[in-house]
Amino acid sequence: MPSIVRLSMIMKWKIDKKESGIPLGHYITRQVKETCSARSVKRMIEKGSARLNGKLEYFSSVKLKPGDVIEFRPVHDTIKPAEFAPSNLLYEDDILLVINKTAGYSVESSRSDRTSIFIPLRQMIPHADTFILLHRLDKETSGVLALVKNPDREKYFTDQFRNHTARKIYHALVEGIPRRKESELVNYLGVIGKKFSVDKWGPMPPPFGKKAITRYRILNKYKQASFLELKPLTGRTHQIRAQLAIIGHPIIGDTLYGNPYSLILPACRQMLHASQLTICHPSKGQISFAAPLPDDFLEKQSKLAFCFRSGRKIETR
């Protein structure tokens, strides 16, 4: 019988007659009141942290019946960004700034957003408020992010992203093992709905869907997951996340496109990292910027590799 590596905890309860009629959210809140508020429990249920009789339950108001079995795995609502240090500055000149964005920072410039990457930038670089993003990274995605300092140079750089001459390389940990070692994913993507008040992208025929192309290559296989290198050839919103979900291999930790309850390896953010960006500089020609895999990513890799090598089973109970 294989030994078990416990990577997270699932709480489990069975409802008796005295507890019949209690809403699911109220019941769970009673059990975890020392660590979670009612509001956070409700959010976690809506994000897929609860099962009722073996099936995902997204409504905290559902009434419980005698014999019902509840399973609940608390997940973090947000990830606290690591300290943004001078070492996060990958490149700077009079025209361009390239940084290694840590997960948890948004790329919004609003002063009301306390997680905006512009907050630490303002503290380190004068007039950072005037810098213009050349591309975007999701809040939970880490890695290379480029900004232009001079508005007169904005078009020079944005044309490279628009014409797909700017080259990007991402790395991701995904659930399962893709059938092909390397392949090209081609889809037409459009907004197919909302989840957590965020637009969710998925397959949509043209002209409503926009063509998305991503090349991937498996770099490492684990027992229940894979480490991929990804090269997006287009720049659609949530492109990599949506395309990997479409082929049945969502990114570990992705609560929007994956199932947070069934994650192979629990993570408080999506394991997606923008590792490299290559663009043309007006005076230096083609130039590449690279950001190493962050510690939380390496930690997940180590756990997956350990379970794979030792033959141990990853279990979330």
Is pLDDT of 66 > 90? Answer: yes
Q: Please choose, from the candidates 167, 128, 8, the residue with its C-alpha nearest in 3D space to the C-alpha of residue 76.
A: 8
Considering 30-39, 87-96, 264-273, the range whose residues carry the highest mean pLDDT is: 87-96
d(CA 249, CA 91): 34
Domain termination residue (choose one: 48, 72, 96): 72
Residue 225, beta-bridge partner list = 175
Q: What is the pLDDT of residue 257?
A: 93
81: in domain: no
| DSSP secondary structure code for residue 293 in this structure | P
305: in domain: yes
Q: What is the pLDDT of residue 164?
A: 92
Report pLDDT digits (tens) over 96-106. 999 999 998 99
Is pLDDT of 7 > 50? Answer: no
Q: How confident is the model at residue 305 (pLDDT cuts 50, 70, 90)?
A: confident
Q: Using a pLDDT cut of 90, give the percent of the chain over it.
A: 65
Output the domain CATH number for residue 58.
3.10.290.10
Is pLDDT of 134 > 90? Answer: yes
* Spacing of C-alpha 248 from chain mean position: 16
Q: What is the pLDDT of residue 1?
A: 23
Q: Which two tokens stand for residue 180?
A: 């092909």
Q: What is the pLDDT of residue 249?
A: 96
Q: What is the pLDDT of residue 76?
A: 53
- The count of domains in the chain is 2
Q: What share of the chain is helix, strand, coil (3-state, %, to 5)?
A: 25, 35, 45
Q: What is the pLDDT of residue 45?
A: 86
Q: What is the pLDDT of residue 114?
A: 81
Report pLDDT digits (tens) over 161-177. 999 999 999 999 999 99
Sole residue written with tokens 């009141």: 33
Question: Do 67 and 141 share a domain, yes or no?
Answer: no
Domain termination residue (choose one: 28, 43, 72): 72
230: in domain: yes
183: in domain: yes
12, 71 in Cβ contact below 8 A? yes
Residue ranges making up the domain that contains 151: 86-315
Give first-to-last CA distance, the chain, whole Å. 16
Question: Do 95 and 236 share a domain, yes or no?
Answer: yes
Catalytic annotation, residues: 138
Q: What is the pLDDT of residue 4?
A: 27
80: in domain: no
**Which range among 37-46, 142-151, 164-173 shows the weakest confidence by mean pLDDT?**
37-46
Q: Which residue has the higher pLDDT, 216 or 194?
A: 216
Q: What is the pLDDT of residue 261?
A: 56
Is pLDDT of 268 > 80? Answer: no
Q: Is 151 helix (H, G, I), strand (E, B) or coil?
A: helix
Question: Do 100 and 248 share a domain, yes or no?
Answer: yes
What's the pTM? Answer: 0.80
17: in domain: yes
Domain termination residue (choose one: 29, 49, 72): 72
Q: Which two tokens stand for residue 65?
A: 């019946």
Q: Which amino acid is at 66?
A: P
77: in domain: no
Q: Please choose, from the candidates 308, 309, 238, 233, the residue with its C-alpha nearest in 3D space to the C-alpha of residue 272.
A: 238
Q: What is the pLDDT of residue 5?
A: 33
Question: Do 111 and 232 share a domain, yes or no?
Answer: yes
Output the domain CATH number for residue 162.
3.30.2350.10
Q: Which two tokens stand for residue 211?
A: 């063509």
Q: What is the pLDDT of residue 58?
A: 87
The secondary element (H helix, E strand) that includes residue 301 is helix 295-310
Q: Report the pLDDT averaged over residues 51-75.
A: 90
Q: Which two tokens stand for residue 120?
A: 């630490």
Average pLDDT, the chain: 88
